[in-house]
Amino acid sequence: MKKEELKQIEDYLLLYKLPLDILLEVKDHMSTQIAEIQAEKEITFENAFTETKLAWEKDLKPTKFKLLFQDEVPMIVKKLSKEKYWDLLKKSILVASISLGLNLIFVFISKDVDVFSVLFRIQNGIFVILPIIVWLSHLKMKKYMKYDFKFRGKSFYTIYQQNVGLLLTSSGLMAQVTLRDGSFLYNYLQGSEHSHLIGFLMTLFIPIVIQINVSFAIFNFINHKQTLKKIQNYIVE
């Protein structure tokens, strides 16, 4: 296929603001379909392209996905986002579950609330420091971590780019948890203060929810970085 024909496919897909990683994947599929239609029906590129656009009409149809996107996105972006983000979320829940298990172990191995408070803060402090380390160690690719830095000013470079900011926001939320001493949790399970049920539940579950966010942000960033490497040849510096 000619270079200008591939460019035409790319420009068409940019109209739908597909993230570049998805755009390139769809572009490969469409170019293959166009070539097959041309060979089978012996028609021009323009006619084959028209048929291919009709075949992709459902996948490129705008739809709402308010959970992750402010504006409407093509159906294929919604579908792939669900698949990719669900995979990251499962890993994040696993990490937070392990952290919860450690937290409960700390309750029963600590000789008093002061010892537990130290362990509680260290454990949660790790979730504060890690995102900051990840961010600072990748300052060379800082522009690809910005929400408004886009391919040709239209599309994110990867499907993960819009969530990179979670690294710092989730770290900030986790810092608020680290300021607490976790005494409600210790006293409820090891002491006789069972009247503070709400405090116990908040101390137990709020850190877990934020740890899921932190873990998700880190996994999301790792995938963003890996995807950028794969599409490096298409990135306009």
Q: Which of 78-82, 91-95, 179-183 has the highest mean pLDDT?
A: 91-95
151-161 exposure pattern, b = at least 16 Cβ within 10 A, e = fewer: beeebbbbbbb
Cα separation, 118 vs 113, whole angstroms: 9
Cα separation, 165 vs 24, whole angstroms: 24
pTM of the model: 0.89
β strands within the chain, DSSP E:
62-63, 73-74
Residues composing the chain: 237
pLDDT at 236: 57
Cα separation, 223 vs 59, whole angstroms: 23
Query: What's the whole-number mean pLDDT along residues 144-150?
Result: 88
Query: What's the whole-number mean pLDDT along residues 163-171?
Result: 91
Burial of 121 (0-12, 13-18, 19+ CB in 10 A): middle
pLDDT band at 8 (very low <50, low <70, confident <90, very high): very high
Residue pLDDT, tens place only, 169-181: 999 999 999 998 8
Average per-residue pLDDT for the chain: 91
Q: Indicate if the pLDDT at residue 196 is higher than 90.
A: no
